[in-house]
Chains A and B, each alone.
Chain A
Amino acid sequence: MHRHNLLTQILKGIQNHQNRNAFFIDGKNYTYKVLAERISGILKEIRHNTGKYPQCIGIVEKDDIETYASLIAVLLSGNTYVILNPHNPEDRNYTIIESTDIQLILQSDKSIISIEYPKHIKTIYTQSLSSSTALNELYKIPEENDNAYIIFTSGSTGVPKGVPITHRNLNSFYSAYSDLNFELDKNDRMLQMFDLCFDVSVVSTLYPLTLGACIYTVPQDGVKYTHVYELLEDEDLTFAAIAPSLLSYLQPYFEEIQLPKLKYLILTAEASNWDLLSQFTACTPNAEYINLYGPTEGTIYCTAYRVNPNQIDTYNGMLAIGQAFKNMHAIIVDDNLKEVTQGEKGELCIAGSQLMNGYWKDVNKTNEVFVNLDCFGVTTRYYKTGDICFVDDKKCIHYCGRKDYQVQIQGFRVELNEIEHTVRQYHSKGSNVVVAKPNQLGNQELHLFLEKYEGNDSNLFEYLKEKLPIYMCPKKIYEISELPLNTSGKVDRKKLLQLI
């Protein structure tokens, strides 16, 4: 049992590797001992300011040891962490604070762009807290049913949806992830390049700590791919989980890149184009590639495909997503929720112990995405992923695309409806439609079409930037007298794509 408790294993990692490096952040090393002392200092303060029952604690994201220590401290206090990204619009952070009833916010120091918090909220500047050596007396292993974190994803009504993940979900994930049998230990050097608002950051941060390995972080602002490349090459990283689009930025320079120390390359957050990856294999002669898929609702990853370069399974050039994790079950159904035959396309549905219980305070949305299906004769609750997939004759699942108007941008799942909803708040005279089109590098870009619009584009851009995260802001605005409709009277998105 303990073997599959993520927090117990992290505590062991800390205990057994005191003098080894836990983090490498902005050119500086931090040992497990220093990490433990920072965690303890923060944990003590959390204890002072919270009661017996678990609550949500906000953490303002920054690329520093304080933020990572805060995240672990919240988990070890038995409370739930919610990341607040200072680069996100104030409105969005405010909505998140309100809906999770946050009373306490942890922030490294006062230098971070401050969010206007409601008056009753207490902010702790963790940098000013003294370190402590009393970790063993302070921590608490949380109940399995308590939430470890809540991650907010894009929602179609303009309100972000909260995905609460329990410790049971997380431990179940950890157990299945460990079963992938990576040959990793305390000597490994592992990349953490993801925004803490995105759930791959959870495994990129917590898993290395169970091994006593060192985590190499990347700042979230500025130009990410150059940082990642620098770390991979200069620090001889052995393990990296990346979004494949990162490689498309590096593609013009593949000839200059040599990463012989890299043992594993995890591809995640978006569909993986094998044509691009196969070119990159020359840069990584000793690395195994693994494609990992999963919606946030199913705790980070729930299927895995191990790449064998001699026998590649692709569909439309995209790598297969493989088979379900051991505690998960995947089936593909048609519009009537009947399981399709092998080779036929349908919506991927997943069930199992990594599945969230439901969206945060949103029963309607929860009911929309869950469905009861028969699994080996037992009625089981499945989550409809919205991803169109099929299973090939080797029982390998292939991803074909999204069912609805969601797109994946820089790893973030974006509902086009949410952007349209926000545009309507600004311009309600005519309709508007947002479409996504891949650019020359194959990465999705957003284009906004506006009816009856005579205003100033830059004012609209400014408005959208205030309301939406930068990755959700359209790259271009087009004025159009009337949106084209298809035969069923819906906006003809295909025709709009041709206009770009």
Chain B
Amino acid sequence: MELNQILEETNQIFKHVLNNPNICLTSTTTASDIDEWDSLNNIRLIADVEQHFNVKFKLREILKLKNVGELCEGVQKKIA
């Protein structure tokens, strides 16, 4: 799958989980850019992304993710 498409689908998940239709993710977006992106929502975001793309991240892998771009790349590698 193309990175752009993963980003687009991830964006939809974020809008839904964070209950904010105005979220517009880029590859450099981080948790500190979005008010609603706290510990609790992070769990949900990861869980929903995992479910949507049918992948599974290890805790160590999640820690290494610095931004949305790395999350999407992680998904891409796992579904490849």
Of the 9-residue stretches A184-192, A205-213, A249-257, which lies at the interface with chain B?
A249-257
Please count how many residues in chain B sit with their CB below 8 Å of the partner chain's CB atoms: 21
Nearest-CB distance from A445 to chain B (Å)?
8
Nearest-CB distance from B61 to chain A (Å)?
10
Contact in complex: B21, A458 (CB < 8 Å) = yes
Nearest-CB distance from B7 to chain A (Å)?
19
Q: Within 8 Å of chain A (Cβ to Cβ): is B59?
A: yes
Contacts of A441 in B (CB 8 A): 40, 43
How far apart are the CA atoms of A88 and B57 in the complex, in Å?
Answer: 33
How far apart are the CA atoms of A249 and B46 in the complex, in Å?
Answer: 11
Among residues 222 to 265 in chain A, which have CB atoms less than 8 Å away from a CB atom of chain B?
222-226, 229-230, 246, 249-250, 252-253, 256-257
Contacts of A443 in B (CB 8 A): 40
Query: Assuming the A-B contacts A458-B21, A475-B19, are A250 and B35 also in contact, with contact meaning beta carbons closer than 8 angstroms in the complex?
Result: no
How far apart are the CA atoms of A230 and B63 in the complex, in Å?
Answer: 8
Total number of residue pairs linking A and B with CB closer than 8 Å: 50
How far apart are the CA atoms of A475 and B40 in the complex, in Å?
Answer: 12
Contact in complex: B38, A256 (CB < 8 Å) = no
How far apart are the CA atoms of A439 and B32 in the complex, in Å?
Answer: 24
How far apart are the CA atoms of A465 and B19 in the complex, in Å?
Answer: 14
Q: Within 8 Å of chain A (Cβ to Cβ): is B28?
A: no
By secondary structure, the A interface counts as: helix
How many of chain A's residues touch chain B, expressed as a range? 20 to 34
How far apart are the CA atoms of A470 and B58 in the complex, in Å?
Answer: 29
Q: Within 8 Å of chain B (Cβ to Cβ): is A221?
A: yes
Q: Within 8 Å of chain B (Cβ to Cβ): is A494?
A: no
Nearest-CB distance from A90 to chain B (Å)?
15
Contact in complex: B42, A257 (CB < 8 Å) = no
Contact in complex: B31, A256 (CB < 8 Å) = no
Contact in complex: B59, A253 (CB < 8 Å) = yes
A-binding residues in B (CB < 8 A):
19-22, 30-32, 35-40, 42-43, 47, 58-60, 62-63
Query: Assuming the A-B contacts A229-B63, A256-B59, are A458 and B31 also in contact, with contact meaning beta carbons closer than 8 angstroms in the complex?
Result: no
Q: Within 8 Å of chain B (Cβ to Cβ): is A395?
A: no
Nearest-CB distance from A223 to chain B (Å)?
4
Contacts of A224 in B (CB 8 A): 38-39
How far apart are the CA atoms of A443 and B42 in the complex, in Å?
Answer: 14
Which of B21, B58, B59 meets A229, CB within 8 Å?
Answer: B59
How far apart are the CA atoms of A150 and B2 in the complex, in Å?
Answer: 54
How far apart are the CA atoms of A476 and B51 in the complex, in Å?
Answer: 23
How far apart are the CA atoms of A253 and B19 in the complex, in Å?
Answer: 26
Contacts of A221 in B (CB 8 A): 31-32
Contacts of B42 in A (CB 8 A): 223, 225-226, 249
Contacts of A230 in B (CB 8 A): 63
Contacts of B39 in A (CB 8 A): 223-225, 246, 249
B-binding residues in A (CB < 8 A):
221-226, 229-230, 246, 249-250, 252-253, 256-257, 439, 441, 443, 458, 465, 470, 475-476
Which residue from chain B places its CB closest to the CB of A226 in the assembled complex? B63
Contact in complex: B21, A222 (CB < 8 Å) = no
How far apart are the CA atoms of A493 and B19 in the complex, in Å?
Answer: 24
How far apart are the CA atoms of A250 and B22 in the complex, in Å?
Answer: 29
Contact in complex: B19, A476 (CB < 8 Å) = yes
Contacts of B59 in A (CB 8 A): 226, 229, 250, 253, 256-257
Query: Assuming the A-B contacts A223-B42, A249-B43, are A256 and B35 also in contact, with contact meaning beta carbons closer than 8 angstroms in the complex?
Result: no
Nearest-CB distance from A61 to chain B (Å)?
15
- What are 30 inter-chain pairs, A to B, with CB distance below 8 A? A221-B31, A222-B31, A222-B32, A223-B31, A223-B37, A223-B39, A223-B42, A224-B38, A224-B39, A225-B39, A225-B42, A226-B42, A226-B63, A229-B63, A249-B39, A249-B40, A249-B43, A250-B59, A252-B43, A252-B47, A253-B58, A256-B59, A256-B60, A441-B40, A443-B40, A458-B21, A458-B22, A465-B35, A470-B36, A475-B19
Nearest-CB distance from B71 to chain A (Å)?
12
Which of A222, A229, A256 meets B30, CB within 8 Å?
Answer: A222
Contacts of A222 in B (CB 8 A): 30-32, 37-38
Contacts of B35 in A (CB 8 A): 465, 470
Contacts of B58 in A (CB 8 A): 253, 256
Contact in complex: B20, A226 (CB < 8 Å) = no
Q: Which of B31, B43, B47, B63 has the most CB of A within 10 A?
A: B43
Contacts of A475 in B (CB 8 A): 19
How far apart are the CA atoms of A429 and B63 in the complex, in Å?
Answer: 47
Contact in complex: B38, A470 (CB < 8 Å) = yes
Q: Which of B20, B38, B40 has the most CB of A within 10 A?
A: B40
How far apart are the CA atoms of A40 and B45 in the complex, in Å?
Answer: 45
Contacts of A465 in B (CB 8 A): 35
How far apart are the CA atoms of A226 and B42 in the complex, in Å?
Answer: 10
Contact in complex: B32, A458 (CB < 8 Å) = no
Nearest-CB distance from A158 to chain B (Å)?
21
How far apart are the CA atoms of A356 and B31 in the complex, in Å?
Answer: 38
How far apart are the CA atoms of A253 and B50 in the complex, in Å?
Answer: 14
